[in-house]
Amino acid sequence: MNRVVITGLGVVAPNGVGVPAFKHAIKNGLSGIRHHTLLQELQFSCQIGGTPSISEDLKKQFFTELELRGFNSTGILYGVMAGVEAWRDAGLPIESNTDPDWDSGTIFGSGTSGIDKLRESIYKIDDLKTRRLGSTVVAQTMNSGVSAYLGGKLGLGNQVTTNSSACATGAEAIMMAYDRIVYGKAKRMLAGSTGDSGPYIWAGFDALRVCSSQYNDRPEDGSRPMSATACGFVPGSGAGALVLEDLESALQRGATIYAELLGGHVNSGGQRGSGSMTAPNSLAVQRCISEALKSGGVSGDDIDAINGHLTATTKDVLEIENWIKSLGRNHDNFPYINSIKGMTGHCLSAAGSIESVATVLQLHEGFVFGNCNCSDLHPEITALIAKTKVPLKTVNLQPKIIAKASFGFGDVNACLIFKKFDY
């Protein structure tokens, strides 16, 4: 079985487009959550959100003018930008006049694709203007659009596919790519996920009353994971990407190795017991974490930090309880734990991959980023773990192993075990 390492990173996040800007933001607690006038006009309860800021000039660094003509898919835009950045960061070539790279592929997840393009197309169909849809509607609206675009731009000849498992999508994509490399079916895989932005994605969650609505006049205070005054999640969008590679290939290329992925696990609670379409089965969550530890060949005592799912809903306390039971650690013995969602909001299908990029950066750079808007830690959490384990500002230390988990609608779970690389 091959060892799997991370050799490239890319990110398009509400608080930072590109790895350097993103790293600066998470280390300094910079938020990307803003008030959205359109959400106010549409009478959303939650009128704030996290959306990456991308100029027209920046788009042209990743797409040709012809590709941008009639282009209207934020999810594909974010995914291609993050994926290409990760590929370049890994020192891998992008050549158009070569055979496909049979050893490289991508598993790049998405919740939906081109929702704005789909809406635009529906109006044209209803107005009997089908012939004016253009030639790229299918590519922009099929769920695998993001992986198809990446496969073409990078000339990938191995598996090219898109997975979709709600908020667990990104972590699941990374685990699927890991499996492909471990068993020798690919030398490297571009893994990640993306999520469209805007009201047509966020409306359903607003209707469910699970989004924050009390901080419309204070956007940066709105997302409050683990806080006593949390009142729901803030929707976000973006994409994260990682190049996973077998160790032998990475060493032969002289690639920068950011971290090692020891293993992980993906499962479901079957919507049985405490589980439902919108709530997790705690036994399944605990089993997912335990099996991830077993897969990585580590114990609960080896975990230095946790990058949790932690969305600023009533389930935050339950997640802490599940970590305690899975790791066998609590109070002062609990690992450091953080959630990036205080800075980005909940980026839905993109969350797991963006947060995995943040996890790898913590290992590579030697820090644990702080939790924004968490000075009033929930009293039920303080009864379980020491306040010092929920840092409010960046802690400079050298974590060796970090667990990253994502949980999603449909009672689905994914947990990854990342390790600081050594030979």
Q: What is the DSSP string of 134-179?
A: -TTHHHHHSTTHHHHHHHHHHTB-S-EE---BTBTHHHHHHHHHHH
Q: How far apart are CA 46 and CA 77, in angstroms?
A: 25
| Confidence at residue 139, expressed as pLDDT on a 0 to 100 scale | 83
Q: Are 7 and 245 in contact (CB under 8 A)?
A: yes
Per-residue tens of pLDDT for the chain, all 423 residues: 899 999 999 999 999 999 999 999 999 999 999 999 999 999 999 999 999 999 999 999 999 999 998 888 999 999 999 999 999 999 999 988 889 999 999 999 999 877 777 777 666 665 566 666 677 788 878 889 999 999 999 999 999 999 999 999 999 999 999 999 999 999 999 999 999 999 989 999 999 999 999 999 999 999 999 999 999 999 999 999 999 999 999 999 999 999 999 999 999 999 999 999 999 999 999 999 999 999 999 999 999 999 999 999 999 999 999 999 999 999 999 999 999 999 999 999 999 999 999 999 999 999 999 999 999 999 999 999 999 999 999 999 999 999 999 999 999 999 999 999 998
| Confidence at residue 128, expressed as pLDDT on a 0 to 100 scale | 65
| Confidence at residue 136, expressed as pLDDT on a 0 to 100 scale | 76
| Confidence at residue 126, expressed as pLDDT on a 0 to 100 scale | 57
CA 64 distance to own-chain centroid: 26
Domain 1-423 indexed as CATH 3.40.47.10: yes
Instruction: Give domain limits for the chain.
Output: 1-423
| Confidence at residue 382, expressed as pLDDT on a 0 to 100 scale | 97
Q: Count the Cβ atoms, other than its own, within 10 Å of residue 66.
A: 9
Q: Is the dihedral of CA 371, 376, 378, 382 positive or negative?
A: positive
| Confidence at residue 283, expressed as pLDDT on a 0 to 100 scale | 98
| Confidence at residue 423, expressed as pLDDT on a 0 to 100 scale | 85
| Confidence at residue 124, expressed as pLDDT on a 0 to 100 scale | 67
| Confidence at residue 296, expressed as pLDDT on a 0 to 100 scale | 98
Q: How many residues does the chain have?
A: 423
| Confidence at residue 125, expressed as pLDDT on a 0 to 100 scale | 63
pTM for the full predicted model: 0.95
Q: How far apart are CA 302 and CA 305, in angstroms?
A: 9
Read off the tokens for 118.
Answer: 């789909």
